[in-house]
Structure 1
Amino acid sequence: MNKTSWILTFIIVAGAVMGWMYYSRSTGQPSAETTPHNLVEVVRTSLQTKVSETGTIMPSQTIEIKSQFSGEVAQLFVTAGQEVQKDQVLAIIRQESSQARQVAQLRASISEERLNVDTAHREWVRAESLFKKGFIPQKELELSHRDYQQSLVRLELAERQLLLALGGNKELFERYRDGSASKTRPEEFQVRSPSQGTVLEVLVHTGEIITSGTATFGGGTILMRIADLSHMVVKAKINEVNIPRVSVGQSVDIRLDALPEKLFTGRVMAIAAQGVKENNLVTYEVSIAIKNAHSDLKPMLTANIDIETTRLENVLTVPLEVLRVKKGDDVVDVLVEGQPQTRKVRVAFRTDTQAIITQGLQEHDQVVVPSFKTEEAGR
């Protein structure tokens, strides 16, 4: 055999080998009859549905501390994070100079009106004596009595103006009225804690001028905020789609990013009556009381909540991964006599992992779990 024949033979053999390899690749995959399917069985079970959201840990009640008087912050006795008791002195406010001048003027006005009352009273008593002796007519007696009544009204008005200038503080008003308060220097007022709690933040500094919480339109300067950290809640914004499923009293599982190893529980205690629209999304604030409060709970911690909503009993379920969408409908592949058949189903509800089926499947049906290859072939 010459050299040309050897070359020709080699080309023929190589072509045959390559053809056989190509044929094996194209036909070597197992057929639909021999392909093993990953199956799941349709079962009846009970499912606990839930609404999941992210919220924020907050005290159940926060108190804003304000002063009844305008003036200068003379002293601060607490700092952020400090625990305080009821009636504990938090700060001292030194009376503002303009208010001190106003109070001085009102005190002078009250003193003047008291003199007027004394004078009018003496004139009325004198007029009564003269009338009884027949020296003056009754009309003059009545005029004297009217002057006395008007002087009492003017005194009461001056005292009311002083009480308003003092922010309604009756104790201090009594001190001014009976003359025990200082007339030569501004008063200093104590700001006390209305309840036991922890100082969340102090918003003023020593020497700062503040406005009264009762004498100004804007509500006055907030000195600090206090809260009882033993009663914490979660505030969460629930989407309008899920809010109909949430109701007061439902159990809640709470997990914190800061304490991933701990599970807290709680109950829905309040649902906002009105939603808030932000970026075309309507949400409703839901307040959740935490049952097993812990000292590690701090305001503003992020909380992941699962609100247990409806418990569904005796329902047909399949894993979500068996569902496909075909022409806008939910479908599954059911194994019938060894062959997968596509069947349209109606999904009533979805959880994170399961779908509840109301039409299209029966209990114990064998459903094919789609694989990547079958999905590619279906395309």
Structure 2
Amino acid sequence: MADAQSQTALSALRIDRSAAPMKRRRRLRWLIPAGLLVAVLVLVAAAVSRRAPTVRVAEVREPLPGEQQTELSASGYVDSRRRSVIAPLVAGQLVEVAVEEGEAVRRGQVLARLDDRDARVVLDRANATVRASEAQLAASEAQALNAQRTTQRTRNLARQGVIPRAQLLDVETAGLATQEALNLARAQLAVARRASEAARLQLSHTVVRAPFDGTVSKKLANEGAVLAPAALTGTNLGGIVELVDLHALEVEAEVSEEQLSRIRIGQPALIFLDALPERAFPGQVATVRPAIDRSKATATVLVRFQSVPQGALPDMGAKVSFLRQPLPPGELAAHGQPPRVPASAVVRDAMGAAVWVVKDGRLTRQPVRVGERVGDELSLTQGPGAGTQVVVAPGPKRLHDGQRVKVEAKGG
């Protein structure tokens, strides 16, 4: 009994070594995920620290002529005061288009011809009717002359008492009928001649001519097309070509209704064409259309070129600067004036004035020499050229040379 109790006491004092590996496995099971989580957090932190900051940019620009005299600006498109879709006045099949797109034409020049066989048949029939009416008139004239002579002889005989008075009345009545037949023949001849003129006019309408000097801007139909005497915008029912007078170009600019009070007829203006951005063209306000586009709350102002520039075409984009007073001819060019940047793009520190240039998504610090301030801009007497992208209002961002940046999208 005592031996059994001794063995129980000794077994209670023995260390159970089978539990140690189990505890180690539990610790490893928690340490591995924790280590992975720490590694991920380190990688995310590194990626965030290397992420390219977003910056807002603007371009260095050359000053435009007349900026100091500009009352307001507006955008629009070039159009022509004479621009028409040329269509025939009669229906028919197109047998010839005598011009091509881009060809200059003179007033009265043949543009196209329609099949004229039906019109010639109608004209021949009208001419035949005229000849028949002329023959009928000649016969009526002869009958009237004969009736006049018979009436005169009958009157002489009646005075002499050779014939009775009743016979004289019958002859005079017959003479009046002959005269009325003569009048009818004359009227019928006039109608036949008018019908012949109408047929000749219809035949002339099969030849389509240019109504004014211009340039063919579009060819709308080819030989074989059957045309109706009409043309609707967007749907061609009879148009053959579109003709534009390139010497009567003007700009249709849209001005908000709140700004209309600042526009006056005859006001000087400068026109800038998107296709010719390096030049400014003097113009003048011709008229303001007396209507407001309610969807946009704008009115159309027509600005005419003082001299239509070579290369200007209808539907070109344009910008108009409405001036307070005309510019001297020497001020129409802005050449020689230093470029400008937004004032907020110029940073000043211990190294002097500079701008942050963005090229290929990376930053470069470029020193500048600043000139006069013009509104919200500064002129640069030394620095990057026009068209260079610079960071606007860098603020507290920590920027450095070679840093990769992301350009903020417009409107964002």
TM-score range for the pair, normalised by the shorter chain length: 0.5 to 0.7
Equivalent position amino acid for 1:193 in 2: A
Please list the CA deviations of residues 303-360 of structure 1 after superposition, one character each: whole Å capped at 9, or x if unmatched. 011212589xxxxxxxxx9xxxxxxxxxxxxxxxxxxxxxxxxxxxxxx969xxxxxx
Aligned residue pairs total 250
State the match for 1:51 in structure 2.
72
CA distance in 1, matches of 2:216, 2:70: 40
Matched position secondary structure for 2:188:
helix
Matched position secondary structure for 2:101:
coil
**For structure 2, which runs of at least 5 residues remain unmatched after alignment?**
1-67, 155-167, 231-236, 327-342, 344-374, 378-394, 397-412
State the match for 1:67 in structure 2.
88
For the pair 1:221 / 2:238, whether they are aligned, the reply is: yes
Please list the CA deviations of residues 23-52 of structure 1 after superposition, one character each: whole Å capped at 9, or x if unmatched. xxxxxxxxxxxxxxxxxxxxxxxx745232
Please list the CA deviations of residues 137-182 of structure 1 after superposition, one character each: whole Å capped at 9, or x if unmatched. 322212211111112112212322333344477xx6xxxxxxxxxx
For the pair 1:85 / 2:106, whether they are aligned, the reply is: yes
C-alpha RMSD over aligned residues: 3.6
Equivalent position amino acid for 1:233 in 2: E
CA contact (8 A) 1:245 1:310 kept: no
Counterpart pick for 1:295 among 296, 310, 318: 310
User: Structure 2 length as normaliser, TM-score?
Assistant: 0.53
State the match for 1:335 in structure 2.
none
CA contact (8 A) 1:230 1:295 kept: no
CA distance in 1, matches of 2:280, 2:69: 18
Structure with more of its chain in helix, by fraction: 2
CA distance in 2, matches of 1:157, 1:292: 52
State the match for 1:150 in structure 2.
184
Counterpart pick for 1:122 among 125, 128, 142: 142
Please list the CA deviations of residues 277-307 of structure 1 after superposition, one character each: whole Å capped at 9, or x if unmatched. 3x2x333221111124322211111101121
Equivalent position amino acid for 1:264 in 2: F
For the pair 1:76 / 2:91, whether they are aligned, the reply is: no
Task: Measure how far apart 1:248 and its partner are.
Answer: 1.0
For the pair 1:230 / 2:247, whether they are aligned, the reply is: yes
Matched position secondary structure for 2:319:
strand
CA contact (8 A) 1:69 1:95 kept: no
Counterpart pick for 1:163 among 197, 215, 220: 197
Residues 110 and 300 (structure 1), Cα distance of their counterparts in 2 relative to 1, 3 Å cut: same
How many percent of aligned residue pairs carry the same amino acid? 20
Equivalent position amino acid for 1:305 in 2: V
CA contact (8 A) 2:90 2:202 kept: no
For the pair 1:95 / 2:110, whether they are aligned, the reply is: no
CA distance in 1, matches of 2:124, 2:229: 18
State the match for 1:36 in structure 2.
none
Structure with more of its chain in strand, by fraction: 1
